[in-house]
């Protein structure tokens, strides 16, 4: 079946192709029968939930292309984020559901979405979120951005702890991954402009992903430097040059500053600059005066001072950060790891749906085995036993392309 065919939810709006005219339109039809779902007494309450095969079906499963729609993960100013299951690879995805009504109410909302799509399609790095697919309907004015699945984010983890901070060894690991991803973006001439814990997500194997490139800027390939003229990031993470209203500023140094504020936040549980309102906050940032808690020891203290340097010329570069003693030497593991909090108390949030689907659809008698998303990414083929394939063949079903096994591109989560 054409994996660009989908069922449209009449209760939600969709972004039309006035903005995204270069994307091929999608035909939306009722195509449930091809998936044989009517005979299955199940509901996709959450695609990674233990309830998936035990709860009595309340409504038809919603299909969008080759994706089975899952439960709500969150909702922001741009729209909802839901979980999805790729019916080809049985890999989980996350989908941003964008509504034109909401985009019109957000300053530069439509432009930011277009920019994010264009940028993500050119990027491929282990520490940058992958854009897997884009589906839209010009009649219903809704767009789906299908992304790789992340089980949580640094902000949620921080808020789940009383002291709002990570152990130094854990924060060190996340910070080093952030620098890896940031170095890649800068090598591509991209200034993120909004680095903060809320935009740093985690996969099931603990890989950090830089997300939300809506306000990012791609520098002209012939530009002589990284000069930028607009800053739209979160106020608490903005550098003094933006807080003071400079018309032009060095884009890469903006990301260095916001990464420094992020490091300060995840290791101390506090912010270097605060204010009763945005005007007072910007006034404090513009002065560049802050205090590092007394319990912070060198060399972390010197790293923070280098990254949060008001003078742009003295502010650390990525190379200096990489060569800094605190970055090179990981702190000892003295405290327990801060776990990824379960979504709405779902203890199975970090489990995949693959074993349940195999057992339910194909009659595998063995006890379910739980796999991480990392194992699925390595190869779905390695997770399926020969006995499973013999059962699969007896049901007279054929994998995609008529082959006797899934192709590599079918098994792996690859970006566009």
pLDDT tens digits, 384-398: 445 544 444 444 344
DSSP string, 306-343: HHT-SSTTTSPPHHHHHTSHHHHSPPP--SPPPPPPPG
Close Cβ partners of 136 (under 8 Å, ≥ 6 residues apart)? 14, 15, 16, 17, 20, 23, 25, 26, 142, 143, 144
Least confident of 242-256, 269-283, 330-344: 330-344
Rounded Cα gap, residues 21 and 195, in angstroms: 30
Give the pLDDT band of residue 341 (cuts 50, 70, 90): confident
The CATH number, out of the four listed (3.30.930.10, 1.10.3720.10, 3.40.50.10490, 1.10.510.10), of the domain defined by the range 152-328? 1.10.510.10
Give the pLDDT band of residue 221 (cuts 50, 70, 90): confident
Q: Which of 13, 133, 194, 255 is catalytic?
A: 194
Q: Which residues pair with 98 in a beta bridge?
A: 79, 143
Task: Examine the pLDDT at 256 and tell me if it is beyond 80.
Answer: yes
Q: What count of other Cβ atoms lies within 10 Å of the Cβ of residue 220? A: 8
Determine the pLDDT at residue 352: 45
Close Cβ partners of 250 (under 8 Å, ≥ 6 residues apart)? 225, 226, 227, 228, 241, 312
Determine the pLDDT at residue 104: 79
Q: Chain-wide mean pLDDT for the chain?
A: 77
Q: Is 206 exposed, middle or buried (0-12, 13-18, 19+ CB in 10 A)?
A: middle
Ligand-binding annotation for 96, yes or no, is yes
Enumerate the domain spans of the chain: 1-151+362-416, 152-328
SS3 helix, strand, coil % of the chain, rounded to 5? 35, 15, 50
Strands 92-99 and 142-148: antiparallel
First-residue to last-residue Cα distance in the chain: 20
DSSP E strands, 204-325: 208-210, 217-218, 227-228, 249-250
Q: For 1-151+362-416, CATH number?
A: 3.30.200.20
Determine the pLDDT at residue 347: 54
- Polymer length in residues for the chain: 416
Q: Model's pTM, two decimal places? A: 0.72
Question: Tens digit of pLDDT for each residue in 123-163?
Answer: 999 999 999 999 987 777 888 999 999 988 999 999 999 99
H or E, element range at 57: none
Determine the pLDDT at residue 244: 96
* Stretch 19-44: mean pLDDT: 44
Least confident of 202-206, 234-238, 354-358: 354-358
* Stretch 35-55: mean pLDDT: 44
Question: Tens digit of pLDDT for each residue in 171-194?
Answer: 999 999 999 999 999 999 999 999
As given in the structure block, the two tokens for residue 225 are 């430097």
Task: Examine the pLDDT at 322 and tell me if it is beyond 90.
Answer: yes
Give the pLDDT band of residue 3 (cuts 50, 70, 90): very low
Question: Tens digit of pLDDT for each residue in 83-104?
Answer: 888 888 888 899 999 988 788 7
Determine whether 38 is an active site residue. Answer: no
CB 254 within 8 A of CB 296: no
């Amino acid at each position: 079946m054409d994996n660009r065919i989908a069922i449209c939810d009449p209760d939600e709006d969709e972004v039309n192709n006035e903005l995204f005219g270069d994307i091929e339109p999608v035909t939306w039809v009722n195509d449930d029968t091809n998936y044989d779902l009517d005979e299955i007494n199940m509901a996709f309450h959450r695609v990674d939930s233990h309830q998936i095969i035990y709860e009595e079906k309340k409504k038809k499963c919603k299909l969008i292309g080759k994706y089975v729609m899952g439960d709500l993960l969150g909702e922001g100013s741009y729209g909802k984020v839901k979980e999805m299951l790729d019916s080809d690879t049985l890999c989980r995805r996350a989908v941003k559901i964008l509504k034109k009504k909401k985009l019109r109410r957000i300053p530069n909302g439509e432009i930011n979405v277009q920019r994010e799509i264009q940028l993500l399609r050119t990027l491929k790095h282990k520490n940058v979120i992958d854009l897997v697919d884009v589906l839209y309907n010009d009649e219903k004015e809704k767009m789906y951005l299908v992304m790789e699945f992340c089980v949580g984010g640094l902000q949620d983890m921080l808020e789940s702890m009383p002291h709002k901070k990570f152990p130094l060894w854990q924060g060190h690991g996340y910070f080093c991954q952030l620098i890896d991803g940031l170095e890649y973006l800068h090598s591509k001439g991209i200034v993120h402009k909004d680095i903060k814990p809320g935009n740093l997500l985690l996969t099931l194997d603990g890989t950090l992903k830089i997300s939300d490139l809506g306000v990012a800027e791609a520098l002209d390939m012939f530009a002589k430097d990284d000069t930028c003229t607009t800053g739209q990031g979160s106020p608490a993470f903005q550098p003094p040059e933006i807080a003071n209203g400079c018309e032009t500023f060095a884009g890469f140094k903006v990301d260095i500053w916001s990464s420094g504020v992020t490091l300060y936040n995840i290791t101390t549980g506090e912010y270097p600059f605060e204010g009763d309102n945005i005007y007072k906050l910007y006034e404090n940032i513009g002065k560049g005066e802050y205090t590092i808690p007394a319990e912070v020891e060198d060399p972390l203290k010197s790293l923070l001072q280098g990254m949060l340097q008001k003078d742009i010329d003295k502010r650390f570069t990525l190379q200096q950060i990489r060569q800094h003693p605190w970055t090179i030497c990981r702190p000892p593991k003295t405290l327990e790891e801060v776990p990824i909090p379960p979504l709405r108390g779902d203890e199975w949030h970090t489990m995949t749906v693959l074993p349940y689907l195999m057992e339910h659809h194909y009659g595998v008698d063995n006890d379910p085995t739980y796999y991480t998303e990392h194992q699925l990414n390595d190869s779905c083929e390695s997770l399926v036993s020969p006995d499973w394939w013999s059962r699969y063949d007896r049901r007279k079903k054929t994998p995609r392309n008529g082959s006797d096994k899934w192709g590599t591109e079918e098994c792996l989560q690859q970006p566009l």
